[in-house]
Amino acid sequence: MRPENSSLWQGGWYQAAHALASPHCDARPAGAQVDLLVVHSISLPPGQYGGGDVAALFLGTLDCTAHPYYERLRGLRVSAHFFVRRDGALVQFVDCDQRAWHAGASCYRGRSHCNDDSIGIELEGLEGEVFEAAQYGTLVQLSHALAQRYPIAHIAGHEHIAPGRKADPGAAFDWVQFQSRLGLPSIQFPLR
């Protein structure tokens, strides 16, 4: 971990985000070096935006009777470090020094168990649907802040760390725009 800018961070909590602490996290393994950002997409119900159900899922409070789709989520214990809403608003669920449960069975840059040494960022969206300019702006700002605090060397999508099992953020996510706006040439992006 690099020295933190006290105006941006309080421990592993990013001060520009609204904090909602998820119980779905645990300690990173000894020696884990956080060098990967994983970009995801999620909406609940799928394709519907603006509600509180994604937060409820990550907090373990989702009412699984509220929508037929939710029955398949019953008992699921998942989280991400961050959630970027369609309007660019940022919510943090897990201290970045802790392991969030976002990647599942995964492998990238020759390492498996990507939860161990990654930070998960969920964008409110659906595979195949375009993401909002405000979301890219927040994602770029957050990625810069994370790269100042952690030795981030790689950024990938869930689809890249769990190919065949996951497809998010999907073909509509503009990796070229994101990489260009981020402007950190030392960070490796997935091959397109």
Q: Tell how many helices (H) and how many strands (E) occur in the chain.
A: 4, 12
H or E segment and range at residue 137:
helix 133-149
Buried b (16+ CB within 10 A) or exposed e, 89-109: ebbbbbbbbbbbbbbeebebe
Tokens for 141? 């700002």
To the query of whether residue 122 is one of the catalytic residues in this protein, the response is yes
Question: What residues contact residue 98 under an 8 Å CB cut-off, 6+ apart?
Answer: 12, 25, 26, 27, 28
Distance CA 38, CA 118 (A): 7
Cβ–Cβ < 8 Å for 8, 14:
yes
Residue from 122, 124, 129, 132 carrying the catalytic annotation: 122
Catalytic residue numbers? 122
